[in-house]
Amino acid sequence: MTSDQNENPTPHPDDGVVEETSDTTDNSDEFAKLLAASENAEPTEAQPGDKLTGRIIQIDGPDAFVDCGLRNELPISVQELKNTDGEMKFKVGDEITAYVQKSPDGLKLTKAVNLKEAGSGALIAAFAAGTPVKGKVGSTNKGGFSIDLDGTRAFCPFSQIDVRRADNPEIFVDQTYQFKILELSEDGRNIVVSRRALLQADRESQAESTRGSLVLGDNLEGVVTRLVPFGAFVDIGGLEGLVHISQISHQRVGDPSEVLKEGQTVQVKILEIQNLGMGRSERISLSIKALATDPWPETASSMVPGQDVEGRVTRLVDFGVFVELQPGVEGLIHISELANRRVIHPREVLNEDEQINVRILDVDLDRRRISLSRKQASDYEED
C-alpha cells in the first residue's frame, strides 16, 4: 500500500466511523413551513355567543364596523355606541368588546342580545355563554322587579338591579338595561337575571386599569357615591377613595351632606395610597380641599386687632366658642372673654349658629389663630 493511499482512508461503516449529519437544515425547513402555513391560514370563524374585542375601523350610517382579526369586519349598531343621552361614546380607532349575534343578514356584534331578533334558542345560548341580554324593567313585586326580555318574563331581585342598594326602586321602572341570566329552568318559566353582575364586572375591569395609573398627588375627577358621618366616598374609575370630612372644605363641615350630595362630580387630589389591589385593606385617601383656594392668608391678614366684626357661632367647647368670621376662617373666644361674669360653660350665654359681634384681640398668621372677645365688643350688653 502506498503512502498516498494511507493519507486519506475511506471510512467504512464497519469501522465504527459514522458520517456526521445536522438536523439544522431540516428543522429550519420545518419551521418555515409552519410559519407559512400560519400566515396563509384562514382566520377563525366567529360563533354566536363569542365575546370578541376589536377596533372600530369605520362608522357608516346606522352601523359601525369592527376589526376583530376575523376574515371580515363585523357590524355593530351605532345606537349601541351611544350613551343614555344619545351622545356617541366611541369613535373610529377605539377598542370595543362585544358579543357575536346571529341576525337575518349574518353575524353582527352587540353589547347585549336582542332575543326578539336572535330567536328563541338565543336565550339558552346566552345563559350558557354568559352573554348579556336586553330587558325592560317592569313593575316591582315582592323582592324585586319584573323584567321583559322581548316577550319573555324574567325576575330581577332588588339586590341585583344595581351595585348599590336600591333605596328608591321606582327610578328603575320602564328603563331598558343589559342583564346577565343567573338562572334558567328547563321550561324557561323561571328566569332570574342580574344587572349588578355586569356592572360589577365592568367596575372590576375599570378598577384594574385605574390601579395601574394611580400616582400620589394626581388630580382626578370623581363621583360621590356615599356620604357617611366621617366623610364621602368617591368613585375615581372603578375604585372608591375616601375624602375625610376634614378634607372636604377649608370651612368647617359638620356633616358631609351640608356641602355634597350623592352623584355629584368633584375634583379630588390623591393624598395617600395603601395596599393597592389587596381587597378590603386597600385604602385611597382623597382631598377636595387641597384643590380649593385657601381663604385664610388673604382674609386673616385683612383683620386688625381692635376691630369689631360679625360672625357665626360654629362650635361650643368647654374652653370657649369658635366663631366663623369668613368662609374658611374661624376665631376663638376664650371662655374668659364671653361675659363680664364667671361662665361655667359657653352654652350659658351663646348657641350654635347664633350671629354675634366680636372684637379681634390678636391675629397669628403663622399659627393660623385669631383670638376674639365678646365682652369687649362695642355692642356687648351685660347678661
What secondary structure letter does DSSP report for 271?
E
Within-domain flag for 121: no
Q: Please check whether residue 209 lies inside any domain of the structure.
A: no
- pLDDT for 383 equals 61
What is the C-alpha to C-alpha distance for residues 161 and 158, in angstroms, rounded to an integer?
Answer: 6
Q: What is the DSSP letter of 82?
A: B
What's the pLDDT at 3?
A: 42
Contact at 8 Å (CB) between 377 and 357? yes
Q: Taking a C-beta distance cutoff of 8 angstroms, is the pair 356, 346 a contact? A: no
Question: Whole-angstrom Cα distance, residue 286 to residue 274?
Answer: 12
* Per-residue confidence (pLDDT) for residue 371, from 0 to 100: 96
| In a domain? residue 348 | yes
Could you tell me if 280 and 312 lie in one domain? no
**Model pLDDT, residue 117:** 62
Q: Given 226, 259, 291, which residue is the final one in a domain?
A: 291
Q: Which domain holds residue 320?
A: 297-373
The helix (H) or strand (E) run that includes residue 383 is none
Same domain, 287 and 311: no
153 and 136, same structural domain? yes
Whether residue 324 is contained in a domain is answered as yes
Can you say how many angstroms the Cα of residue 315 is from the centroid of all Cα atoms in its chain? Answer: 36
- Whether residue 302 sits in one domain with residue 286: no
Distance (Å, rounded) from C-alpha 253 to C-alpha 251? 6
The reply to whether 264 and 304 lie within a common domain is no
Q: What is the pLDDT along the chain (383 residues), one digit of tens a residue?
A: 444 444 444 444 444 444 444 454 455 565 455 445 444 444 457 777 777 889 999 998 889 999 988 888 899 988 888 876 677 888 999 988 888 877 777 888 888 776 766 665 778 878 887 888 889 999 988 889 999 988 889 999 999 999 888 888 999 999 999 999 999 886 667 899 999 999 988 888 889 889 989 999 999 999 999 999 999 999 999 899 999 999 999 888 889 998 999 989 999 999 999 998 888 899 999 999 999 888 888 888 888 999 999 999 999 999 999 999 988 889 999 999 999 999 999 999 999 999 999 999 999 988 889 999 999 998 888 76
- pLDDT of the residue at 122: 75
Residue 267 bridge partners (DSSP): 221
Residue 244 sits in a domain of what CATH number? 2.40.50.140
**Cα dihedral 92, 94, 100, 105 in deg (nearest 10):** 0
Task: Answer whether residue 36 is part of any domain.
Answer: no
C-alpha cell recorded at residue 206: 375599570
280 shares a domain with 241:
yes
Check residue 12 and give its pLDDT.
Answer: 45
Cell numbers of 106, please? 349574518
Q: 119 — alpha (psi -120 to 50), left (phi > 0) or beta?
A: left
Beta-bridge partners for 113: 133
Handedness of CA 335, 340, 343, 347 (dihedral sign): negative
Q: Report how many domains make up the chain.
A: 4
Give the Cα separation of 113 and 101 in Å (integer): 7
Assigned C-alpha cell, 146: 319584573
Side-chain half-sphere of 63: how many Cα atoms within 13 Å?
Answer: 10
- The answer to whether residue 356 sits within a structural domain is yes
Give the domain-ending residue among 237, 266, 291.
291
Q: What is the pLDDT of residue 45?
A: 73
Same domain, 302 and 348: yes
Residue 205 lies inside a defined structural domain of this protein: no
- Residues 250, 196, single domain; the answer is no
Query: Which three cell numbers, joined as nine digits, stand for 279?
Result: 381587597
Contacts 24+ apart (CB under 8 A), 39-46: 42/71, 43/69, 43/70, 43/71, 44/70, 45/70, 45/71, 46/70, 46/74, 46/100, 46/107
The reply to whether 188 and 136 lie within a common domain is: yes
- Domain shared by 270 and 306, yes or no: no
Q: According to the model, what pLDDT value does residue 331 have?
A: 93
SS3 category, 123: helix
> Within this chain, do residues 254 and 195 fall inside the same structural domain, yes or no?
no
Say yes or no: 307 and 353 in one domain.
yes
350 HSE (CA, 13 A, CB side): 32
Q: Is residue 251 part of a domain?
A: yes
pLDDT at 30: 56
Give the helix/strand (H/E) hosting 202.
helix 196-211
